[in-house]
Every structure is written in structure tokens, then in C-alpha cells.
Structure 1
């Protein structure tokens, strides 16, 4: 269980600074609604309904990237989910922002401009260094408390995440609380039956590290995506390398070859690889080929095949717990969603503890009409989920825990 304080511990009638993660896809300059707004709205609504003065911080993109933009549109989307006005100020800690904060009434909500537009925000540094930035020193005196709800950014040492908890009473919001509890379950809970992990996605380096770290806690791994192909390559099949203009496999193979081969050697009996793969046929339709029939990789494989889904369903259905990290195919294209959707549907129909992690994979649940309630937890975190699975520390969580210790001592 977490050792930080939550908003249940927050005294009444406070001016509260709240860190959210509203990072979203940007299309034609406009932020797109996603699960993050809905989840964070619960924390914002609860604080506003309790009569607190609620000021929100969040980020969008990074400097130099196409999705680095203002949060004005985010305020409108969030307001729809919260069910009350969310004011916006195009400033973060200057005079305009401070005036808007001071003018806030009980139950009112204000969103500040993109935190990453502050030069103090991004460089990774210790909480002590971040607490002494102009960003923190200007804003902190205006508040009675700080709430971190941005679990999906908790692996970062940014000012808005680790600086404020050092100088203000700090609490976890509902997203932080529920994500932390669900995502650390694999390391903290004992299950009576088999534990299965579905491993996919395009970032093989991340998931291979998870497989290595969890080898004593997971009974079997079901592989797909880029990691699945790389393991097939290690097993002697002519796949798992780039063809044409592809740039997904070769670099990750070179970086992880020794680890892949050692994991396969040591845990081969626990690792299930795809028996068939799907690709785009000459007619543009989905086509499948048995892995044993592939003499040479001539095209990109975009999903696991039907036989693989049939192979993966029984171990899922007999599991006591199933954790998912990464999609088994390019599910955004309906032709290549069968693997991801088939596995998720099998999990949904099984009475097991289940966590679906990573923002991309969790989108498949919504895209293909599945009920989020059929899973124990659907995570909106990516990097933080990986860190939690591998047992690596999350700086923003550590900052909340340290704040709770100081509060307990006083």
C-alpha cells in the first residue's frame, strides 16, 4: 500500500495546486479528448465540490515538437468532463497567473499555461534543486497544499512533479492513488494461480527489461509486436529485422540481442511465441502465414495470426492474474486488430485480476467497444507503468512519500 497522503487527508477550504497529465494527441492544432481527461476530472471535481480553490498545472508535448502547444483547448475539454467551468490563463507563474490565482473563489477551477513553457520545468534535477527554481518559488506561496495526480509522468524529475512537494503539504489525487496501487500489484501481491503477462508494442527495449525483471513473478509471457518478432529471430526464424524503409527492428536487436538470448535461454519454457503472423496481402486485405513457412522476411508483419490467438487464449483463461504491456499488432488498423482484441476479449471474459497498461493499448478497449469495467484496472501510464513493473523508483511518488513523512513528524 502507498505510504503517501491522499486527498482524503486534505483539510477543508484550501487553495490547492494540482498537477495533472493532460498530454494528448494534437490534430490540426487541436487537442483530442482521451481517457486522461475523464480520469483526472474525478480528482478536479471532488476538490471543487469540497469548496477548495483549485489551480491546475499540466503539460503538452515538448519544446521543438509539433505537439508543443498551449493548453487553452485542454481547459474546454476538461470542463466538459468536470461538469463546471475551467478558466484558463495564458501564463504559468507571472503576474497574470498570480492575479488569476488570487482572484479565485471557493469551488472555482483555473488551468495554468503549459508547464513546459517554463525553462525551470524540464531539466531533470533533484527535488531540492527544483524547489529553488523561480517557477516553484513564485507559485508555492500562493497555495496551502499541492496535489499530484499525474501518475503517468511520475518517472520524471520535473519542477511541477518533485519541486512543490518539498515546500508544500503534498497529497495524491485519485489517479495517482489508483494507478500506483494497481501497477505495483505484481510486485506486492501473491496470487494463488498462474500469472501471465502479454508483451507487445513497438518499444521492445522497455518490455524486454520488464520480462527480465519479472522472471520470478510471471509464470508465462505471451509475445507479439516488435518484441515478439525479435524473440522469434533469436529462436532462429528469419524475421525480426527491418525491410524496405522500416526502422523498428535492427537497432533494437543490436541493443538487446544478448538480453533476449539470455531470457530465451533461461525462461524459454515460460515464453510463448507467435505461431503465425499477419501482413497486408497484394489485394490490400489481411493475409496470414505460419512462422515455420517463412523462408525470408519480405514484408512487414502487422499482427499475430489467428492460430496464435487460439494458442494464447487458454493460458489467459486459466490465469489468476494477467498484465498487459503493449499491443500484439497495429490495432489502429481494423485489419490488424485481431491479435490485440482477441487477447483483450479473453482477459475480459476471465475472472482474474487484470491490468492493461500503456496509453496506446488501453485505447483498443474503447476503439473496439469493450467494457473497461471488465478489467481490474486500465492504466493511462506508459513510462511510469514500465518503471512500476520493473520495481524502479518513481521520483514523483518518492516526493509524495517524503512529504508524508515530514507531515507525520510535525
Structure 2
């Protein structure tokens, strides 16, 4: 197991990797749950008397979201109610001067680490450790703290390089996310274990279904639900005018979907009705049996929600990945919010994963405290569910 910040020596100089990668709309970086989560780690470290320099990334080169971290420093400052200084440099002279000027209890945010070519280079951890980025910054600090669980599956220099040459620890976000998200692989549950799968990326979810043996019931919705309904012989799960979600994924996954239906049997629960917008713009529902798809279905229907709620209520553990409908539109939030509300009302062990799904909790007045864990991770959450290794965890454990 890795060391955590509970194991840190007192009042050190720390390099902390976080993940506040965020949507950028009209050139403005949007605040989200990641800022508040990582702010808790940074506050704890600063209050303990550490001098803290922070590494983070935003977007990828060539994309509109690839911007500086100046706005991120301001957002973090608001969450922390203290100044987070920003320097438009990562490991050059300006950065080193700012780092060396850090006092205990102060926090400094370095420039977007993906603006350093070495960060995304295809190298081994040992090779990353020899990069100028790692060699330069490692000399300035007593220890490295990785709190960026959302990027734990990325073998980038700032994730796997520093643990090769520095004492390294997991931050609070890293610790909590790993414990909760890997529970389905590490823990034994005496009662019924349920996984709710939805969203738009069927390949990720199908991979989870193939790899996770401890789930008693899969409750499907969203794109993956329609694709499985198509394999079961219903006239849904293909693109209509204006959509491109289904046909390509069907061509890639048809064989696997059919195999899962055949081998899993009653472990897979499919929607029995679906919802759409009628000509007047109101929510309308139709039974799956005998349906002919002429428009986009945007949510599971009320009967499906009721059936899924009953399964959840009788479960010991529930893991959620992906929304059951387009919950951003209140008309089509019934599936996602209904199931989340049912989970919140039980005393089961529950993990809600994926940024979109967890966002519904705040949007519809649910409390994060009613769930065992609300994950801010995407790809790393999927890997944890399947038991696949995470390079950041391996680096910390070394």
C-alpha cells in the first residue's frame, strides 16, 4: 500500500500534483467539483505548515481547452479563502525563484504542466525521472504528493516520474478515490451487488461488464441500454436523423453485446420503456415491446425507473457509471435522478462515478453525504472497477 500525507514529516517543502482540468466555455474556465476536493488537500497541507507548490494540467496541445492556469489559481483561492499565487512558468527561472520564495503555509500554482513537451512524452517511468522537468523540480522539494487520481491511469512525467526520485505520498483525493473505486474488486459484500451503467460510451461499459465478476445485477440505460435492447431484438439502438451515437458502436460491439446477453442472462436488466419529447415538447413514454424507433429516446421510462429503484433498495452495494438519460434537461432526468435518489435513501455502500453523473447530484438537490463516495474520476474510475492497474498507484506503491 502507498504512504499518505498522514506519514509526511512536519513542515516540509512539497510538490503536489492535482487535477483541476475543467471545461472552458467562451474562454472562461469553469469551476467544478475537482477544485473543491483538491482545495481540501491543499488547505490541510498549508495549515500543517508545509510550503506547497502545485502542478496541474489543463486540456491538451492543439485544443481550445489548452490554456494557462491563471484562472485556476483564482478559483482555488476562492475555495481556500487564501491566496494561491500563480507563476506563468513550470520549471524555468521564474518558477524556481517563486518556489524558493515560498514560506510555510503558502501555496503556489505553477504553469500548465502540459505546456512542457516532456510531460506527454511516451516514456517509461524511469525515463520520465531523467527529464529536465523532474530533475529540476525534484531538487527543490522534500517530498512529492500525488492527489490527481483522475489522471492515475496516465503515465505522464508529473505522475510517474517524481516517485522514482523522491519520497512520495498520496493526497486525500487520491486516497479516498482509490479506496472507494476499487472496493468492488477488493471487498467482499454479503448481499446483492448492483452496477448501474449508462451514458454514451458503450465500449468502456461493456469492458467493465466483461471484467467484473462480483456484480449480481447490471441495470442498463442510456446508449448502452439501447444497444443491448437492439441485440435483444427490439427496434431501437440505431441512429435516427440528427444522431450518431449508435451505429458505429453497434458495428464495433455487436458480437460482445450478444455474448454478454447470452452468458449473463438475468444478471442484465434492460429498460422496459423509454422516454422521448413529443410534438409539443412534453415528455412522453413508450413501451419497448413492439416499439418502432422514429425519434431519439432521451431517458428510461417510469416503469423502468420503478423497477430499478426496487433492485437498488434491496442491495448491499451499488456502483454507478453513466447517466440513464439526458438529465441536464429536467424532462429527461427521471431515470438518473430517480435511481440516485433511491440509492441515497438506502444504507448500502454506494459509489457514483463519472463527472456527468455526479453533477446530477448537485443539480437536483441531492446530498453527496448520502452516498459513500462521489467520484470525480472518469477513465481511472473505469479501470478501478475492472481491477486494471493504475500507473500512478504503482508508482506510489514503489
TM-score with structure 1 setting the length: 0.96
1:150–1:175 Cα contact (<8 Å) kept: yes
The counterpart of 1:243, out of the listed 237, 240, 244, is: 240
Q: Which residue of 2 aligns with 1:399?
A: 395
| Structure 2 residues without counterparts, runs of 5 or longer | none
Give runs of ≥4 in structure 1 deviating > 3 Å.
none
The counterpart of 1:357, out of the listed 348, 353, 356, is: 353
Q: Which residue of 1 aligns with 2:157?
A: 159
The counterpart of 1:266, out of the listed 256, 263, 274, is: 263
Q: Which residue of 1 aligns with 2:171?
A: 173
The counterpart of 1:321, out of the listed 313, 317, 321, is: 317
Q: CA deviation at 1:132?
A: 1.1
Say whether 1:86 aligns with 2:84.
yes
The counterpart of 1:225, out of the listed 213, 222, 226, is: 222
Q: Which residue of 2 aligns with 1:405?
A: none
Q: CA deviation at 1:166?
A: 0.6
Q: Which residue of 2 aligns with 1:137?
A: 135
Q: Distance in 1 between matches of 2:233 and 2:149?
A: 40
Q: Which residue of 1 aligns with 2:231?
A: 234
Structure 1 residues 368 and 16: CA distance shift in structure 2, 3 A: same
2:11–2:51 Cα contact (<8 Å) kept: yes
Q: Distance in 1 between matches of 2:26 and 2:70?
A: 14
Q: Which residue of 2 aligns with 1:8?
A: 6
Q: Write the deviation string for residues 329-353 of structure 1: whole angstroms up to 9, x where unpaired.
A: 0111111111000000000001100
Q: Distance in 1 between matches of 2:13 and 2:235?
A: 60
Say whether 1:370 aligns with 2:356.
no
The counterpart of 1:287, out of the listed 284, 289, 303, is: 284
Q: Distance in 1 between matches of 2:333 and 2:124?
A: 42
Q: Write the deviation string for residues 282-317 of structure 1: whole angstroms up to 9, x where unpaired.
A: 11121111111312x211111101111011111100
Q: Write the deviation string for residues 69-119 of structure 1: whole angstroms up to 9, x where unpaired.
A: 111011111111122110000111111111110111111000011111110
User: Structure 2 matches for 1:6-85, cutoff 5 A?
Assistant: 6-85=4-83
Q: Which residue of 1 aligns with 2:192?
A: 194
How many equivalent pairs are there?
398
The counterpart of 1:252, out of the listed 249, 254, 263, is: 249
For 1:363, what is the secondary structure of its paired residue? helix
Q: Distance in 1 between matches of 2:22 and 2:192?
A: 36
1:124–1:156 Cα contact (<8 Å) kept: no
The counterpart of 1:389, out of the listed 374, 385, 388, is: 385
Q: CA deviation at 1:212?
A: 1.0
The counterpart of 2:121, out of the listed 83, 99, 123, is: 123
Q: Distance in 2 between matches of 1:124 and 1:156?
A: 10
The counterpart of 2:109, out of the listed 101, 111, 122, is: 111
For 1:142, what is the secondary structure of its paired residue? coil
CA RMSD of aligned residues (A): 0.8
Q: Distance in 2 between matches of 1:126 and 1:332?
A: 41
Q: CA deviation at 1:259?
A: 1.1
| Structure 1 residues without counterparts, runs of 5 or longer | 403-410
User: Structure 2 matches for 1:93-108, cutoff 5 A?
Assistant: 93-108=91-106
2:271–2:300 Cα contact (<8 Å) kept: yes
Q: CA deviation at 1:7?
A: 0.4
For 1:64, what is the secondary structure of its paired residue? coil
For 1:256, what is the secondary structure of its paired residue? helix
TM-score with structure 2 setting the length: 0.99
2:234–2:290 Cα contact (<8 Å) kept: no
Q: Distance in 2 between matches of 1:91 and 1:341?
A: 43
Q: Distance in 1 between matches of 2:252 and 2:121?
A: 26
Q: Write the deviation string for residues 190-214 of structure 1: whole angstroms up to 9, x where unpaired.
A: 1111000101011110011101111
Q: Distance in 1 between matches of 2:178 and 2:254?
A: 31
Q: CA deviation at 1:124?
A: 3.6
Q: Distance in 2 between matches of 1:12 and 1:124?
A: 35
Q: Write the deviation string for residues 19-76 of structure 1: whole angstroms up to 9, x where unpaired.
A: 0000111112111111111110111001101111100011111111111111101111
